[in-house]
Structure 1
Amino acid sequence: MHTTTTFLLALLTLWPVGPPPPDVVRGWHPPAGPYAPGHRGVDLAAPEGTTVLAPAAGTVTFAGPVGGRGAVTLTLSGTGTPPLRTTFTPVTPLVKPGDRVPAGTPLARVSPGTHCPRTCLHWGLLRDRTYLDPLRLLHRSPSRLLPLRR
């Protein structure tokens, strides 16, 4: 894992939708190569109209249509060179390129036209052209077993 990503594990605490944390409808499956099949992000359960929040501070570097769907790209502040970028689709942007936003800022609303069985938010993470698992940005408590009560 890149050292900046390690630093972010303690920095980022926000899911882009919620609370409560959404269900992960489909997980991240990295492609074997740049043109190989895979799932280059995670799909989060989110009804149409759900507000998408900035998971960390950054600058909006894209807000508009991509392949007929709305998209927003947020370049995260202080994440090295090249910086980490998060992407969100399908959405209706509420921001414009150049906007600097703190964590928790509304970026967009989830719109229909998804590849999920029901409406969802596709959340991606990249460093340059390398796709990463966006769930690694979240500060999550370790799982632990609770006693079984009878």
Structure 2
Amino acid sequence: MRAKRWASTAVLALTVLTLPGAAPGAPLSPAAAGTPAPAAVRNWPVPRPTVLRGWEPPPAPYARGHRGVDLAAPSGTPVRAVAPGRVSFAGRVAGRGVLSIELKNTGTPPLRTTYEPITPGVKKGAEVTAGQVVGTVTGPTPHCPRACLHWGLRRGDTYLNPLSLLNRVPSRLLPVLDVPLP
């Protein structure tokens, strides 16, 4: 009976340890998530987002890929800093408003988040706090099928999955009693 209980727990563990937005069955591990492992709690940059397109790291520095995530957000949606930091860029790139924030206490080189297309509400060099409104989403672009915020994350020249910054409640495995094995 005890072996059956532990086997059920193992099955449960394999089914629940996945990343939000990851493919079903994807393991929860820093390597799989592209986790940069900063120590602070993070927040979404827009309220109640839907991920329209996930992070697809390129196989080589200049190869095709998606170097961030697209979050559904209508034009005019406030964009918030996901963590405290300093604005390293606020301006236009390729005709779109872009904001880049270097995050505090995230190692060397520090992590840097980017948001586009937005109208920046802060200037280069400004100190920002987690949750502070730093701009607003501008109209739809050809990048997304509908209005969205492209949220990126880098450490130096390495692109990382920005979803790895989100505060996730750690999984707790409890024994599963009297559940038949599949």
TM bin (shorter chain):
0.7 to 0.9
Residue aligning to 2:118 = 91
Q: Tell me the SS of whatever aligns to 1:62.
A: strand
Distance between the aligned counterparts of 1:143 and 1:42, measured in 2? 24
Identity %: 58
The structure whose residues are more often strand, as a share, is 1
Q: Tell me the SS of whatever aligns to 2:150.
A: strand
How far is 1:143 from its partner? 7.7
How far is 1:142 from its partner? 5.8
Residue aligning to 2:37 = 6
Choose which of 29, 54, 57 in structure 2 pairs with 1:30: 57
Distance between the aligned counterparts of 1:72 and 1:12, measured in 2? 21
Distance between the aligned counterparts of 1:70 and 1:26, measured in 2? 20
How far is 1:37 from its partner? 0.2
Residue aligning to 1:17 = 46
Number of matched pairs: 139
How far is 1:59 from its partner? 0.1
Whichever of the two has the greater Rg, that structure is 2
Residue aligning to 2:17 = none
Q: Is residue 142 of structure 2 the alignment partner of residue 125 of structure 1?
A: no
Q: Tell me the SS of whatever aligns to 2:164.
A: helix
How far is 1:112 from its partner? 1.5
Choose which of 131, 146, 168 in structure 2 pairs with 1:140: 168
How far is 1:6 from its partner? 1.8
Contact 1:84–1:127 under 8 Å retained in 2: yes
- Supply the RMSD in Å over aligned alpha carbons: 1.8
Distance between the aligned counterparts of 2:163 and 2:63, measured in 1? 21
